[in-house]
């Protein structure tokens, strides 16, 4: 599968590139092509240095990667996502788009601030062609832990989406990352629940002197 | 500590009575005194049959128990809680009140339906004297698992409340139940988050063929 990662040069994008490159072609996206190419080389070195397989991580501009990809991971901050999608809409056809986006602000504590659609995932769906299949997942995975290949993750990942086949594909991709356990979270209308868990987890971490909290349903 | 459990003859009340009776006096409440007394005897037999200590589980009417208690557990369905508190308000002074209450309805799936205050806990606070300290906790514990003393629970319990001392007391009570781990969830204004997890967990259970899901933050 060809997986484009928007925001692939920073934060949680790194972890997905490293963890999926064994089985998939990764198109690492950035608005700055030089940065994307350089980061792709770094990630490739990391994998080869660990003796891991690597189908290929290629640095790309957003436009090129989206047109070429079967699946697009949106790992960009909420503030930039709508303008980004407006400029990139013509390059989308019928890809699966995974939204990791969480609208939140910090007052004294972090607070979930959903748009009028009810969640970032539903707003993102509004800004893409109808044939694109939006899936909401991975909001509650620590970027740091995901990028650390020596770490055994042990999280549940709730996957929401209205297209059952696309949801199954993302659940399968989740299983490919050792000890991530996908759970069917229902339709995209349930995305607010997993999105709102993110500021809640950050607040819990701060208040209780913990860090990088994820979630398990037991 | 004297702990009154409203709704103590059913559902999750049983688990708390059984698990706290070793160290605390349990006032098991029901509107029907006969049922309360009979159930208190049954719970006592269960504990003694297992060779466990039991400070005492006494069947009481709601009014008597509340006046006598240091801490009141509200384990009643959302639909009945406001009328119940209206009738019982004169018996409250400065107790700690733990709300386990979750306002939800079932359409195709379960849905969180908070009152205008934003959460059941905040609504409950509105219906009690100001000197009462409302704490929100235990929404995501399986009643069946809590009542099964042979079972090793392994859950995190998020505790929300505006009175720091009362919150500490409830966190300490949580630690007394083996392998329940309390986490400070902040003020009562955060209660909507733990309340809304309940219908979400039920839906996750149904969709994924699981049962009695609780939560751990890892």
B158 contacts A207? CB cut-off 8 A: no
Q: Which residues of B touch A119 (CB under 8 A)?
A: none
What is the separation of C-alpha B93 from the centre of its chain, rounded to a whole number of angstroms? 19
Asked if the model's pLDDT at residue B181 lies above 90, the reply is yes
Judged by a CB distance cut-off of 8 A, whether residue B184 touches chain A is yes
> Could you give the count of Cα atoms lying within 13 Å of A218 in the half-sphere of its Cβ?
17
How near does any CA of chain B get to the CA of A23, in Å? 26
Strand bridging mode A2-6 / A71-74: parallel
Asked if the model's pLDDT at residue A209 lies above 80, the reply is yes
Q: Which chain B residue's Cα is nearest to A111?
A: B190
Strand bridging mode A104-106 / A110-112: antiparallel
Over residues A12-39, mean pLDDT: 93
Dmax (CA) for chain A in angstroms is 47
Band (B63; pLDDT cuts 50, 70, 90): very high
Band (B9; pLDDT cuts 50, 70, 90): confident
Give the pLDDT confidence score for residue A165 in this predicted structure: 98
Dihedral, CA atoms, A158, A163, A169, A171, nearest 10 degrees?
Answer: 10
Phi and psi torsions of B49, nearest 5°: -60, -25
Helix (H, G, I), strand (E, B) or coil at B56: coil
Give the pLDDT confidence score for residue B175 in this predicted structure: 96
pLDDT tens, position by position, B70-87:
999 999 999 999 999 999
Over residues A154-158, mean pLDDT: 94
Asked if the model's pLDDT at residue B184 lies above 90, the reply is yes
Give the pLDDT confidence score for residue B115 in this predicted structure: 98
Give the pLDDT confidence score for residue B153 in this predicted structure: 87
* Candidate from B183, B186, B204 with C-beta closest to A183: B204
Asked if the model's pLDDT at residue B11 lies above 80, the reply is no
Asked if the model's pLDDT at residue A31 lies above 90, the reply is no
Q: Which residues of A touch B207 (CB under 8 A)?
A: 183-186
Q: Chain-wide mean pLDDT for chain A?
A: 94
Over residues A190-217, mean pLDDT: 94
Asked if the model's pLDDT at residue A11 lies above 80, the reply is no
Note the residue count of chain A.
Answer: 218
Separate counts of helices (H) and strands (E) for chain A: 8, 11
Neighbours of A211 (CB within 10 A): 11
Q: B179 vs A213, B52, B76, B81, B189, CA distance in Å?
A: 18, 18, 25, 29, 27
Asked if the model's pLDDT at residue A189 lies above 80, the reply is yes
pLDDT tens, position by position, B17-52:
999 999 999 999 988 899 999 999 999 999 999 998
B183: tokens are 């986490």
Give the pLDDT confidence score for residue B31 in this predicted structure: 83
User: ipTM of this model?
Assistant: 0.90
Over residues A155-161, mean pLDDT: 97
As assigned by CATH, the class of the A2-207 domain is alpha beta
Asked if the model's pLDDT at residue A129 lies above 80, the reply is yes
Give the pLDDT confidence score for residue A117 in this predicted structure: 98
Give the pLDDT confidence score for residue B4 in this predicted structure: 97
Over residues A101-112, mean pLDDT: 95
Q: Which chain A residue's Cα is nearest to B210?
A: A218
* Candidate from B158, B208, B218 with C-beta closest to A216: B218
Asked if the model's pLDDT at residue B55 lies above 90, the reply is no
Band (A30; pLDDT cuts 50, 70, 90): confident
pLDDT tens, position by position, A142-154:
999 999 999 888 9
Judged by a CB distance cut-off of 8 A, whether residue A155 touches chain B is yes
Question: Percentage of chain B with pLDDT > 90?
Answer: 88
Judged by a CB distance cut-off of 8 A, whether residue B33 touches chain A is no
The string of DSSP codes covering A184-198 is E--SGGGHHHHHHHH
Q: Which residues of B touch A196 (CB under 8 A)?
A: 193, 196
Probe site for chain A from B196, B200, B202 (most A CB atoms < 10 A): B200
Asked if the model's pLDDT at residue A180 lies above 80, the reply is yes
Over residues B162-188, mean pLDDT: 96
Give the pLDDT confidence score for residue A36 in this predicted structure: 94
Asked if the model's pLDDT at residue A109 lies above 80, the reply is yes
Q: What angle do CA A171, A165, A216 make, to 5 degrees?
A: 20
Q: Rounded to an integer, what distance in angstroms lies between the CA atom of residue B82 and that of residue B96?
A: 17
Q: Which residues contact B49 (CB under 8 A, 6 or more apart)?
A: none
Asked if the model's pLDDT at residue A87 lies above 90, the reply is yes
pTM: 0.93
pLDDT tens, position by position, B191-218:
999 999 999 999 999 999 999 899 999 8
Note the residue count of chain B.
Answer: 218
Q: Do A160 and A185 contact (CB within 8 A), yes or no?
A: yes
pLDDT tens, position by position, B141-167:
999 999 999 988 899 999 999 999 999
Q: Chain-wide mean pLDDT for chain B?
A: 94
The residue ranges of DSSP E strands in chain A, in sequence order, are 2-6, 25-30, 57-61, 71-74, 96-99, 104-106, 110-112, 133-136, 155-161, 180-184, 215-217
């Amino acid at each position: 599968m060809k997986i484009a990662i928007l925001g692939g040069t920073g934060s949680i994008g790194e972890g997905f590139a490293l963890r999926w490159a064994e089985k998939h072609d990764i198109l690492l996206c950035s608005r700055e092509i030089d940065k994307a190419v350089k980061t792709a080389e770094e990630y490739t070195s990391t994998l080869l240095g660990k003796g891991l397989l690597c189908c290929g991580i290629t640095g790309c501009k957003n436009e090129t990667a989206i047109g070429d990809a079967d699946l697009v991971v949106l790992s960009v901050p909420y503030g930039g996502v709508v303008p980004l999608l407006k400029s990139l809409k013509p390059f989308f056809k019928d890809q699966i788009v995974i939204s990791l986006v969480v609208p939140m602000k910090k007052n004294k504590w972090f607070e979930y601030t959903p748009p009028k659609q009810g969640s970032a995932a539903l707003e993102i769906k509004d800004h893409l062609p109808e044939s694109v299949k939006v899936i909401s997942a991975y909001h509650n995975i620590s970027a740091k832990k995901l990028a650390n290949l020596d770490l055994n993750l042990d999280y549940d990942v709730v996957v929401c989406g209205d297209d059952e086949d696309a949801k199954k594909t993302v659940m399968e991709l989740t299983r490919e990352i050792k000890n991530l356990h996908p759970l069917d979270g229902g339709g995209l209308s349930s995305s607010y629940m997993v999105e709102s868990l993110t500021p809640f987890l950050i607040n819990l971490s701060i208040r209780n002197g913990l860090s990088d909290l994820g979630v398990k349903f037991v």
